[in-house]
Amino acid sequence: MFQDNALNLTMRVLLAIKSSQIEDAVNTLDRDQVDVLMKYVYRGFETPSEGSSGHLLVWHEKAYAVGGVGSIMRVLTDTKKA
């Protein structure tokens, strides 16, 4: 239940940020925070809403530019859900 609420709130925040502001937002994050962001992006892909996939792809692109393949690998191999 708590995880669902956290996911819903995070998705609302991510989708509310304009595409032009995403890169600046991601650049303020450290490595661990980029990994958490990437977790939420992938969770958002699992439960898409109207128009969310394209916006999440922008978040993914910018997070990948900072975290690289390592970030994706850490997320995919993490056994804890975001």
Per-domain residue ranges for the chain? 2-77
Q: Which of 75, 59, 63 is nearest to 30 (CA)?
A: 63
On the 0-12 / 13-18 / 19+ scale of CB atoms within 10 A, 25 is: middle
49-69: average pLDDT: 96
Average pLDDT of the chain to the nearest whole number: 93
pLDDT band at 25 (very low <50, low <70, confident <90, very high): very high
pLDDT bucket at 77, cuts 50 / 70 / 90:
very high
CATH architecture of 2-77: Alpha Horseshoe (1.25)
Asked if the model's pLDDT at residue 1 lies above 80, the reply is: no
pLDDT band at residue 8 using 50, 70 and 90 as cut-offs: very high
Identify the pLDDT of residue 81.
63
Percent helix, strand and coil across the chain, each to the nearest 5: 80, 0, 20
- Model-level pTM? 0.89
In sequence order, what are the residues at sequence separation of 6 or more whose Cβ sits closer than 8 angstroms to the Cβ of residue 45?
Answer: 53, 56
